[in-house]
Amino acid sequence: MHPRSTGGTTDRKRPQLRRLGSHLAVLPVVAVTALATACGGSGGNQTQNTPTSEHPVTITFANWADSEQATRPGIEDMITKFEAVHPEIKVKSEPISFTDIGHTMVLRVQSGNPPDVAELSGNDTFAVAATGALANLDSYAGDLKSSFIPAEIAAGTYQNHLIALPWTVNPPGLWYNKQLMAGAGLDPNSPPKTRDELMTDLAAIKAKYPDVIPLGLDSTNRDFSLTSNWSWMKSFGAQPFSGDKASANTGQMKDYLSWMRELAQKQYTSPGKKIGEFRPLAAQNKVAFVWDQPVLQGVVQSTNKETDDQFYANWGVAAQPTGTGGKSYSVELGHQLVAFNKSPNKQAAFTFMKWLATDPQAVTGYTVKYESSLPPMANPSADIAKVIGTPTLQAFARDVMPTIVKPEFGPTYSEAYSPIMAGVQSVMTGSTPVDSVASTIQSGLESAFK
């Protein structure tokens, strides 16, 4: 139509296109260089360094302790103390929230940029282990393994190798508020021993204190929540899946779901709340029973400034009320320490992990003081035994720890928790028949495991 003008435009564009071509030709070189740089960095050097106090190594420590107000001063103090004892090792803390740390570690592994050490818990440990990125700690731990509680070592074992060093022992137990129990006409020194007794007590609390939440139970859609509810499912004889086989559409599972619906409908619990949301309420005597870990004590006391004696006078802890099979259950939700294969400083990393988990200074100054948790050692030293001799920690050690079972942790757990907990939320907050919800969970699991 307008050949001259079109030709002119084309002529003007040719040098630009040639320049673009030459720029694009450089792209692969830039990309390869960038990739090499990305894959390199600190993680690229696989040699084991020998650190000295003059030439210390720096290890990175991804953890949520440093991201939470309640534990930040404690962990920072521990790092300072560790560096004083081990001047050849510097620790750089990387705070990541508890909710995000699991998937953040998987993504960092995928991008070739894991830390040297990380704090993990529950299924997160096994999800990261499934990527093959965690260091085998067998050779580092050696005889040390025999000094830990066997169940804690089992909780850190994946495919017959120790991949996580137990740090804090934190199973949930049934906390009961003695003041509220007494006020509701219940015996404050006799917590419910069976599920029927529990329901009777919840009814008494609700009748006497309409604005108090009778039972604090996490029912969010998180893997932590499934782990917390696992023991309640077990008490009905239910287990929604095993390996990659779904078994949610069973009578036992329906019984559990019906019970959760009853708790919500009678307003015995507040659906959709994280366990962390019940803790400040517990500090105000607004929750009568809480299915929670030892850490509850620390949060309550840091919130309401109660002394130890005041706390023990008001709160006690017991094993889960027995269910269908006459047994109590709990799960290990303690914190574990892992090292990564890619770390060039695995020995330094393990030195730090071991110190945090076992050194009396760390156990008394952090594990007990800030986490209100038990240490993982089978026979703790006298110093440690003295500080863990509190009524609640003793109750955890005596009554709760023997009831611990290990959920089906692993890659399938990451895919299973959402369909299960979405179903639990459905029965608690909607009117869909339980049979239908159980069937939906079953098909959701089968689809996820395909």
Partner 1 sequence: MVAPTLVILAVVIGYPIVRAILMSFQRYKPLSGLPATNTGLNNYHEVFGDPIFWESLRNTAVYTFGSVAVSALLGLLLALLTENLGGRWRYVRSLLLTPWAVPLIVVAFLFRYMLDQDYGVVNAVLRHLGIIHSNVHWLTSSAWAMPSVMLANIWTQLPFFFLIFTAGLASVPNEVIEAARVDKAGPWAMATRIKLPYLTGSALVAILISVINNFNDFAKVWAMTEGGPGYSTTTLVVYVYRLAFSSFNMGYAATVGTIWLILLVIFAVLYIWLLQRKSAS
Residues within the interface to partner 1 (CB under 8 A):
16, 19-20, 23-24, 27, 103, 106-107, 110, 127, 130-132, 211, 213, 220-223, 267, 270-273, 281, 286, 411, 414-415, 417-418, 422-423, 425-426, 428-430, 440, 444, 447-448
Q: How far is the CB of 177 from partner 1 (least distance, A)?
A: 16
Shortest gap between Cβ of 75 and partner 1 (angstroms)? 25
* Minimum distance of partner 1 from residue 286's CB (angstroms): 8
The nearest distance, CB 104 to partner 1, in angstroms, is: 9
Separation of alpha carbons 288 and 284, rounded Å:
10
Q: Among residues 239 and 429, whose Cβ is nearest to partner 1?
A: 429
8 Å CB contact between 257 and 423: yes
Rounded to a whole number of angstroms, the minimum distance from the CB of residue 159 to partner 1 is 11
Q: Smallest distance, Å, CB 272 to partner 1?
A: 4
CA gap 222, 60 in Å, rounded: 27
Q: What angle do CA 26, 30, 32 make, to 5 degrees?
A: 120
DSSP labels, 396-426: IIIIIGGGEE----SHHHHHHHHHHHHHHHH
Residue 397 or 422 with smaller CB distance to partner 1: 422
Q: Which is nearer to partner 1, 208 or 327 (CB)?
A: 208
Q: Which residues contact 352 (CB under 8 A, 6 or more apart)?
A: 59, 61, 82, 86, 89, 91, 117
Distance of closest approach, residue 427 Cβ to partner 1, in angstroms: 9
- 23 or 398, CB closer to partner 1? 23
What stretches of 195-346 adopt beta strand conformation (E)? Answer: 213-216, 241-242, 245-246, 287-292, 315-318, 330-331, 335-339
Residue 97, judged by CB atoms within 10 A of its CB (0-12, 13-18, 19+), counts as exposed
User: Closest Cα partner for 272 from 345, 227, 315, 220?
Assistant: 220
Measured from the CB of residue 373, what is the shortest distance to partner 1 in angstroms? 26
Which CB sits closer to partner 1, 165 or 428? 428
* Distance in angstroms (rounded) separating the CA atoms of residues 159 and 125: 13
CA distance 63 to 376: 18
Structural element, H or E, at residue 210: none
Closer residue to partner 1, CB minimum distance, 1 or 27 = 27
The nearer residue to partner 1, 224 or 350, going by C-beta atoms, is 224
298 Rama sector, left if φ>0, alpha if ψ -120 to 50, beta otherwise:
alpha
Residue 349's Cβ-side half-sphere holds a number of Cα atoms within 13 Å equal to 30
Q: What angle do helix axes 123-130 and 411-429 make, rounded to 10 degrees?
A: 140
Taking the complex as a whole, how short is the minimal distance between the CB of residue 58 and partner 1, in angstroms? Answer: 28
Residue 163 or residue 374: which is nearer to partner 1 going by CB? 163
Q: Among residues 377 and 416, whose Cβ is nearest to partner 1? A: 416
Please state, in angstroms and rounded to a whole number, the distance separating the CA atoms of residues 410 and 249: 21
